[in-house]
Amino acid sequence: MIDIHAHILPQIDDGAQTKTMSFQMCEMAAKSGVSDIIATPHMLDLYAGDEFAQKVNARVDFLNRLMEEKGIALRIHKGAEVYASQDILYAPDLKPYTLAGSRYLLFEFDFAQATLHYAKEVASIILSQDLIPVLAHPERYRFTLSDYQNINRLAECGVLFQCNLGSLTGELGKRESVLAREMLNAGAVSFLATDAHRVEFRNTDINGMIEDIKEKKKKVDYTKLKPLLTDNPMKIIRGERVENPSFATLKKKLF
């Protein structure tokens, strides 16, 4: 399996705070059956790109050397989770922040303030640079939670979606769990990932989360889980095309 969204690099964002924690997260992932992780530290300041790249490169190299020394079969790839502030509308080149050197750019918004109009504007900027927009955890934004059809509207613009496994387990909230489940069952999700930040909470144990989903008897199509953690993520690493999913209109149900 491949995790395309994880905050495993030490001392760079709100993820792993020490090298020891970073190693523990990597070791946990490998034991869970993960072969590759794309490290995606938060990129908050697009005007500090050189400094950010230096930190990412150094930490990814460190972890790959450590994995080799410890005999752990896990490869770490460079990436970022780009925060779509107003700066992104004027960013000259987003390519340095793509996932594993591919054309796929993982991006996120302010959970409460983002709007559909702004999301479409950001997607347009990304596409104009011949990159493929991948929206991180679409199930967590107010504008998607309030109107599920905004998922369809973004998909029509060429946006792909990465949902968090923690949302499917219910770890990140009931409303988020419902939307993630609806998206998964409808075929709207292109990637599943951990969005891991810690060892104890929001961690890298993918198999553990899949078992948790099954134990809680979540109403999800289990056959779709692992392919979204293997096939499509491998296409990112190989630089191949992930087809835009075709799915029925999502509609919020009344409870």
Report yes or no: 209 and 168 within 8 Å, Cβ to Cβ: yes
**SS3 state at 106:** strand
- Predicted confidence (pLDDT) at residue 71 exceeds the cutoff of 60: yes
Q: H or E element: which one contains 227?
A: helix 227-238
Residue 181 in domain: yes
| Residue 253 falls inside a structural domain | no
Q: Identify whether the C-beta of residue 69 lies closer than 8 Å to the C-beta of residue 107.
A: no
Is 119 inside a domain boundary? yes
Within 10 A of 20 (CB to CB), how many other CB atoms are there? Answer: 11
| % the chain with pLDDT above 90 | 85
Q: Report pLDDT digits (tens) over 135-186.
A: 999 999 999 999 999 999 999 999 999 999 999 999 989 999 999 999 999 9
User: What is the pLDDT, as a whole number, of residue 201?
Assistant: 87
pTM, 2 dp:
0.96
**Tens of pLDDT, residues 49-66:** 899 999 999 999 999 999
Radius of gyration of the chain (CA): 17
* DSSP reduced 3-state for 138: helix
**Could you tell me if 19 and 27 are in contact, meaning their C-beta atoms sit under 8 angstroms apart?**
no
pLDDT at res. 255: 47
Asked if the structure places residue 29 within a domain, the reply is: yes
Q: How many domains does the chain have?
A: 1
Q: Are 194 and 166 in contact (CB under 8 A)?
A: yes
Could you list the residue range(s) of the whole structural domain that residue 55 is in? 2-238
Q: Specify which residues 32 forms β-bridges with.
A: none
Q: Is 162 helix (H, G, I), strand (E, B) or coil?
A: strand
CATH number at residue 140: 3.20.20.140
Within-domain flag for 218 = yes
- Confirm whether 169 is domain-assigned: yes
With respect to residue 148, please indicate whether it lies within any of the assigned structural domains: yes
Percent of the chain with pLDDT over 70: 98
**pLDDT averaged over the chain?**
94
Task: Give the pLDDT score at 60.
Answer: 98
